[in-house]
C-alpha cells in the first residue's frame, strides 16, 4: 500500500481561537495531543482506511474532511469526546491545512455542520467557493 506523506499546517485562525481553549483546559495533555494530530495528519490516508475520517467535499485539487480526536490521557473515545477537526487536503502539493479544531459545544446554532461551514467560509475565503 502506497501512503502519501503530507506537510501538516495548523492555520492561524484555528491557532488563535479554539486551540487556545484546549491548551488552557488540558495543559500538557494538549501538547501531546497536538503532536499526535500532526503525526496522524501527516499520513492522513491511513485515517480513511480506518474509517476515522469523513470526506465532506472532494474537488479536483482540495478535499475537505472531518475527523474526530480524543485528548491524550483521557478515557473518552474519539467519537465520545465531541472533539473534531476540519481539514483541507491539498492533493497537488501534499499538504493538510487544519482549518478548525473544536469541541462540538464550541459552535453555536443547532446544526454543527452548518456552523463549521460558516466559520470556514467567513475565515478562509480560499475555500468558500467549494463549500
Q: What stretches of the chain show up as alpha helix (H) in DSSP?
A: 12-16, 18-26, 28-42, 45-49, 78-81, 112-123, 125-128
pTM above 0.85, yes or no: yes
Cβ atoms of residues 67 and 84 within 8 Å: yes
Give per-residue pLDDT as tens, 50-62. 888 999 999 999 9
User: What's the pLDDT tens digit per position in 113-130?
Assistant: 999 999 999 999 999 889
| Residue extents of the structural domains in the chain | 7-128
Q: Any idea which fold 7-128 has?
A: YaeB-like fold (3.30.2310)
Amino acid at each position: 500500500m502506497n501512503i502519501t506523506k503530507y506537510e501538516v499546517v495548523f492555520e492561524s485562525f484555528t491557532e488563535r481561537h479554539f486551540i487556545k481553549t484546549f491548551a488552557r483546559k488540558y495543559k500538557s495533555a494538549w501538547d501531546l495531543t497536538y503532536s499526535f494530530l500532526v503525526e496522524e495528519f501527516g499520513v492522513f490516508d491511513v485515517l480513511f482506511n480506518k474509517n476515522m475520517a469523513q470526506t465532506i467535499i472532494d474537488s479536483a485539487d482540495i478535499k475537505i474532511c472531518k475527523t474526530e480526536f480524543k485528548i491524550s490521557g483521557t478515557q473518552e473515545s474519539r467519537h465520545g469526546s465531541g472533539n473534531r477537526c476540519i481539514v483541507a487536503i491539498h492533493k497537488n502539493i501534499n499538504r493538510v491545512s487544519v482549518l478548525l479544531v473544536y469541541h462540538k459545544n464550541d459552535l453555536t446554532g443547532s446544526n454543527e455542520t452548518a456552523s463549521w461551514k460558516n466559520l470556514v467560509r467567513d475565515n478562509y475565503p480560499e475555500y468558500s467557493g467549494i463549500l
